[in-house]
Amino acid sequence: MVPGPWSIEWAGRLDELAVESDVLRDNPLGDPHRRPVWVYLPPDYEESERRYPSIYVIQGMTGQIDMWRNRSAFRRNFPELVDELFADGDVPPAIVVFVDCWTSYGGSQFLDSPGTGRYHTYLCEEVVPFVDERYRTLADREHRGIAGKSSGGYGAMVTPMLRSDLFAGLATHAGDALFECCYPLEFPRVARALRDKYEGSYERFWEDFRSRPALSQKYDPELVNAYCMAACYSANEDGSIDLPFDTATGELLPEVWERWLAWDPVRMAPRYAEALRSMRAIYIDAGTRDQYYLDLGAEAFRRVLEELGITDVFFELFDGTHMQIEYRYPIAIRYLSERLQ
């Protein structure tokens, strides 16, 4: 039988902090620039004086930091799993940093965009120094990794490509990749929903969306997701957003779509080959029944790495979907921690 389901005996410690961000001040969506950060310290942190590798953990679309505490029936949540992992003396200890890049469109893809804000810079230039200043981290790229699922897996792939001076390890669980296999499948549904319910107007959708319980209507997920991705991948300098499809028909607009593809990890990899070759740890997984076909994206990312001569990677397609796969995350944390000691 399951013991007390409400909590665990913590072996380590979870600090809740906040970063007063400069780069997010005046972000285009008016989202908060004071942002929560959680820092997990492994069991021996307080007694020892050693320094530790650090692993940054980022969330999927619509994720906000307090969701890490969401309880699924009969399960441990991710911070608890992290503590259980490091309570096991067999796993080399690391500091785990929980970062929040939520926006009112649902997310930021951990990029800088005039459509959402400078979340890439926030993460790299503000959160990393903030943590390194306050905790005994091994404060260099060789001992720093990043991990996430879904859009968080996306961020975990692209952030180290862009900033290999900061990160030498990455772990992607079902990360957005091979864009033609995940995003365009939603565009026809968006076009249809706009036609049938919102007179073809995204403005009307947002108006409606904000007037009622969020995500309670059938097409809400696609409508929010396509818009948010456009805000991340194809916003213009003035903050306006170009959609990669004709909202009346779903017809792909090649010029905008190319701007999206430029951000596809599978297409980015060759341009960032050196950065990727310098990684000390690359972990890739996805469920074979992933609703967004991100298992195909995982395989495509693995293949492009292989073409670049990068074969020392962890790779697994497991039996599962896109949902409730938090039990996979400790496998990656262990992998990163071992490699980044």
User: Using CB under 8 A as the criterion, which residues of the chain lie in contact with a copy of itself when the complex forms?
Assistant: 1-7, 29-32, 36, 62, 64-67, 69-75, 100, 102, 104, 106, 178, 180-181, 184-185, 187-189, 191-192, 196, 210, 213-216, 248-252, 266, 288, 293, 295-297, 299-300, 303, 320, 324, 327
> What backbone torsions phi and psi does residue 70 show, to the nearest 5 degrees?
-55, 135
Q: Which two structure tokens, joined as six digits, stand for 222?
A: 């696609």
- 140 vs 262 by CB, closer to a copy of itself: 262
Q: How distant is the alpha carbon of residue 125 from its chain centre?
A: 17
- 272 vs 292 by CB, closer to a copy of itself: 292
Smallest distance from a copy of itself to CB 26, Å: 13
Smallest distance from a copy of itself to CB 190, Å: 10
- What is the bridge-based pairing of β-strands 112-113 and 117-118? antiparallel
Burial of 90 (0-12, 13-18, 19+ CB in 10 A): exposed
- 251 vs 274 by CB, closer to a copy of itself: 251
Burial 138-165 (b: 16+ CB within 10 A, else e): beebebbbbbbbbbbbbbbbbbbbbbbe
Smallest distance from a copy of itself to CB 164, Å: 25
Output the DSSP codes for 104-162: TTS--TTSEETTTEEHHHIIIIIIHHHHHHHS-B--SGGGEEEEEETHHHHHHHHHHHH
- 64 vs 121 by CB, closer to a copy of itself: 64
Question: The tokens 């961000």 sit on which residue?
Answer: 21
Smallest distance from a copy of itself to CB 230, Å: 16
Find the largest Cα–Cα distance for the chain.
63
Smallest distance from a copy of itself to CB 281, Å: 23
- 75 vs 136 by CB, closer to a copy of itself: 75
- 47 vs 255 by CB, closer to a copy of itself: 255
Smallest distance from a copy of itself to CB 266, Å: 8
